[in-house]
Amino acid sequence: MEDDYQKLEAQIGYRFRNPELLKRALTHRSFAFEKSRRLCETGADLFKVHYERLEFLGDAVVDLVIGHLLMEAFPEALEGQLSKLRASLVNIKQLSRLSKNLGIGEWIRLGRGEDATGGRNKASILSDSYEAVCAAVYLDGGFESVFQMIKRHFQEIISGIDLGRMEEDHKTRLQELIQAENKRTPKYRMVAEFGPDHEKSFEVEVLINQMPVARGTGQSKKDAEQDAAKKALAILENEVNINHHG
C-alpha cells in the first residue's frame, strides 16, 4: 500500500519518511470502526488509527501557516483584516475544494456505508482529511516542511486577494442596503481630526437622507469611513431585527 502513496505524495508535494502517518491521516473513523474487531485483536487503540487526533493538530498548523503567509503578503493589513482574510481561507468550503483538487478524496479509507453514501465527496470529510494530512507532514518532517507545502497549495489563492476591495465591504454593503430601500446614497462627512501630523486619527460621520446615523474613527479617512459604515450597518440591521420580531 505504501508504494501506492507515491502518486498522492507527488500531488501534495511531500514525500513521507513514515508512510504510516499518511495512512492514518487518510483513515476515517467509519473505516476504523468497521475494522475494529481485527484492530482490537492486534492491540491497536481505535483513536490511534483514524485521523481525528491528527485533524485536531492540523487545524492549528494550517491556522498558523496561513496567518504567517497573510502577514507576509499584506504587511499593511490590520489585525481585523488579517483575521477576516484567514477565516475566508481556512474554512470547510475552501479546504474541501483544495483537498479535492489535490486528489486527497480518492485516497481516503472509508467504511462501506460512508463510501456508499458519497462520503468521499463530503466537504467535511475532505476538509478534515486535508488538515490531518498537514498534521502528518508536520509530525513527519517538521514545521518548515509543512510550511512550504501549505504555501504552495495556497500561493495562487493568496496572490489573487485584493485587499482594497475587501476594505470596501462595509461601505458597499451599506450603499446596497440603502439603495435597495429607494433611498439616496450614504454621504460621509469629516467631523474631527486628532493628534500630530505623523500620527493622526480621523472621525467621520455617515449620513443617510441627510440624517446622521453613526460615527467612525480610524488612522485614515478611508478607515474612519469604513468604521462609520460598519456601525451604521449594525444599527440598521438591529432595527430590522426589532421590527421583524416586534
Tell me the domains of the chain and their CATH numbers.
2-162 (1.10.1520.10), 168-245 (3.30.160.20)
Instruction: Determine the 3-state secondary structure of 188 from DSSP.
Output: strand
Q: Is the pLDDT of residue 195 over 80?
A: yes
**Catalytic residue (choose from 59, 203, 225, 227):** 59
Q: Is the pTM of this model over 0.95?
A: no
Report percent pLDDT > 70 for the chain: 87
Distance CA 219, CA 198 (A): 10
- Can 59 be counted among the known catalytic residues? yes
**Catalytic residue (choose from 55, 114, 131, 205):** 131
DSSP codes joined into one string, 144-179: HHHHHHHHHHHHHHHHT--HHHHHTHHHHHHHHHHH
Q: pLDDT tens digits for 8-33?
A: 999 999 999 999 999 999 999 888 87
Strand (E) positions, 58-127? none
Q: pLDDT tens digits for 97-153?
A: 999 999 999 999 999 988 999 989 999 999 999 999 999 999 999 999 999 999 999
> What is the pLDDT at residue 243?
46
Cβ neighbourhood burial of 214 (10 Å; 0-12, 13-18, 19+):
buried
Q: Which three cell numbers stand for residue 35?
A: 475494522
Closest CA relative to residue 223, chosen from 201, 191, 193: 201
